[in-house]
Amino acid sequence: MRPEAFANVAAGAGNERTVAANRAAFDRWRIVPRMLRDVEQRDTSVELFGQRLPSPFLLAPVGVLELAHPEADCAVARAARDTGTGMVFSNQASRPMEGVSRILADTPHWFQLYWSRSDELVESLAGRAERCGCQAIVITLDTTMLGWRTRDLEGAFLPFLHGKGLAQYTSDPVFKRLITEVPPAPTEQQPRPSLAALRTLIELTRAYPDGFWRTLRSGGGRAAVQRFTEIYSRPSLTWETLAFLRERTELPILLKGILHPDDAARAVAEGMNGVIVSNHGGRQVDGSIATLEALPAIVEAVDERVPVLLDSGVRGGADIFKALALGARAVLIGRPYVYALGIAGRDGVRELLLNLAADFDLTMGLAGCRSVADIGPKSVMPAPGLELAAPAVAPQRL
């Protein structure tokens, strides 16, 4: 990957304390293996919304995968299909959801939505997700504005401004209409274009799906980026807004970015079908609570009414085991599969998923559990001496 692309993926917000906290939270728990329980036959599968996953993890929605590999979302989807792993399509994907959904066929796939300023676009994206066979919609709540990402700021790099990660938009009929409403760029008093500006114009034009010369003449690439930056998210979003989508789709809706038990309880009360405990891999609020720290109180508040999932910092079978022991139904994996994609495309992601599944299976069996149902609060304990030093490790009321 190019240095600025790697920096964009690896980046956390601010001083990246939450990136570190996510990992540290896993290290504060220890697995307590049990013996003599006949673990020869094991079943690592879990059920989510009527579909069975072979292992309790899915691929988290990650935007702009073209930064890692030219086949982007398509390569990831092929690896997901190879292994039966569920995949969540990003709103900022590099490929339109319809084509990626065709690759996945029966393999579980969900669509992640950023709530745009245009309700019409929200409705259009959700409708497309439903029609192309996505089985759930994930609304990401924690990115109504992009976090303070120092690595991106240092490199002055924002992929969207180069037309990358806009495939769900440029393939959308409502968005295409919204582009035509963009006023043309003022022609007077424009400075002479620099070489960098020309390069960006070429990138924007290439990124737009209408063909290079047509797009160059129409200015579609530039207009798409301009429209996108105007409407991509809605910081004024409130709980009341969610009813708009609840009334328009039969699909299960999950809220991603939940970190407080009261928000989790409210999600259930508003008719949501699941919550994802996430801090966006530490990319939004530097210093925010680690997801594994937040999990127990959220599980208690939700009280088994809907599934609770978790992401941010999951890096191996033991992490998955710990999250399940503390009440998560499944976890999502982010950066590791982007790196695997960058290294070896579809094969890289498939290897990662197979390795992760094997690691989890062995951890589960060696801990004395035959299935995920055997994994529970007694399967783990806080690391000795840390209970008092780090109060957040124990289930707590916030």
Ligand X SMILES: Cc1cc2nc3c(=O)[nH]c(=O)nc-3n(C[C@H](O)[C@H](O)[C@H](O)COP(=O)(O)O)c2cc1C
CB of residue 93 to ligand X, shortest distance in Å:
8
The answer to whether residue 280 forms part of the interface with ligand X (CB under 6 A) is yes
Q: Is 108:83 a contact under the CB 8 Å cutoff?
A: no
The answer to whether residue 63 forms part of the interface with ligand X (CB under 6 A) is yes
Closer of 103 and 290 to ligand X (Cβ) = 290
Binding segment toward ligand X, per CB under 6 A, in 29-37, 46-54, 89-97, 344-352: 89-97
The answer to whether residue 163 forms part of the interface with ligand X (CB under 6 A) is no
Q: Looking only at residues 138 through 157 of this chain, which bind ligand X when binding is defined by CB under 6 A?
A: 140
Query: CA torsion sign, 175 to 200 to 14 to 111?
Result: positive
Closer of 60 and 174 to ligand X (Cβ) = 60
Q: Which class for 42: exposed (0-12), middle (13-18), buried (19 or more C-beta within 10 A)?
A: middle
Q: What angle do CA 309, 313, 317 make, to 5 degrees?
A: 75
What is the DSSP pairing of strand 57-59 with strand 330-333? parallel
In the list 107, 112, 363, 379, the residue contacting ligand X (rule: CB under 6 A) is 112
The answer to whether residue 288 forms part of the interface with ligand X (CB under 6 A) is no
Q: Is 152:194 a contact under the CB 8 Å cutoff?
A: no
Which residue has its beta carbon closest to ligand X? 334
Binding segment toward ligand X, per CB under 6 A, in 197-205, 235-243, 306-314, 320-328: 306-314
Closer of 208 and 232 to ligand X (Cβ) = 232
The letter for the amino acid at 288 is S
Three-state secondary structure along 165-198?
CCHHHHCCHHHHHHHHCCCCCCCCCCCCCCHHHH
d(CA 312, CA 291): 7
Q: Is 313:44 a contact under the CB 8 Å cutoff?
A: no
Residue corresponding to tokens 């399940």:
324
CB of residue 81 to ligand X, shortest distance in Å:
20
Q: Residue 111: phi, psi to the nearest 5?
A: -115, 130
In the list 53, 62, 267, 285, the residue contacting ligand X (rule: CB under 6 A) is 62
Reduced to 3 states (helix: H, G, I; strand: E, B; else coil), residue 52 is strand
CB of residue 281 to ligand X, shortest distance in Å:
3
Could you tell me how many residues of this chain bind ligand X (CB under 6 A)? 22
Closer of 292 and 302 to ligand X (Cβ) = 292
- Catalytic-residue membership of 280: yes
In the list 56, 163, 281, 317, the residue contacting ligand X (rule: CB under 6 A) is 281
For the annotated catalytic residues, the residue numbers are 280
Applying CB under 6 A, which residues contact ligand X?
9, 60-63, 90-92, 112, 140, 256, 278, 280-281, 311-314, 333-335, 338
